[in-house]
Amino acid sequence: QVQLVESGGGLVQAGGSLRLSCAASGSTFSSNVMSWYRQAPGKRRELVATITSGGSTNYADSVKDRFTIYRDNAKNTVYLQMNSLKPEDTAVYYCVARAMVPWVWGRGTQVTVSS
């Protein structure tokens, strides 16, 4: 069973950057499709970015050209580099492993962007 632990969240001013990390346990990480979701207060959880086992990526329109998802299979870790942050990026960010049903979710890390 994969377990996920996110880190790297915090408080940043608009225009700043943060890098989120998601460390995964288990030997199946390299074959796992990994995603980052986020949920802002009072809003639905939304998909932010996805990376396949082969390294293909996909992004929500709202974060394209600002966020980058990448993975280091040797470290069993997926990252989300977030640049040019906006107040509307404020949310709890969750790492998700999607190879199995049900998906495995981390506990989340809070990102707060001040204006």
Query: Average model confidence (pLDDT) for the chain?
Result: 95
- pLDDT for 20 equals 98
* Bridging pattern class, strands 57-59 and 34-39: unpaired
Query: CA nearest 91: which of 80, 102, 78?
Result: 80
- pLDDT for 101 equals 83
Quickly count: other Cβ atoms within 10 Å of residue 53's Cβ.
15
Could you say which DSSP state residue 31 is in? G
Query: CA nearest 18: which of 6, 2, 5?
Result: 6
Token pair belonging to 86: 């906006």
> Is the CB of residue 65 less than 8 Å from the CB of residue 6?
no
Name the band, by pLDDT with cuts 50, 70 and 90, for residue 31.
confident
Question: Could you read off the pLDDT of 104-114 as tens digits, one per residue?
Answer: 999 999 999 99
- pLDDT for 49 equals 98
- pLDDT for 100 equals 81
Question: Could you read off the pLDDT of 45-76 as tens digits, one per residue?
Answer: 999 999 999 999 999 999 999 999 999 999 99
- pLDDT for 9 equals 97
Q: Where are the beta strands (DSSP E) in the chain?
A: 4-7, 10-13, 18-24, 34-39, 46-51, 57-59, 67-72, 77-82, 91-97, 104-105, 109-114
Report the percentage of the chain scoring pLDDT > 70.
99
* Bridging pattern class, strands 46-51 and 34-39: antiparallel
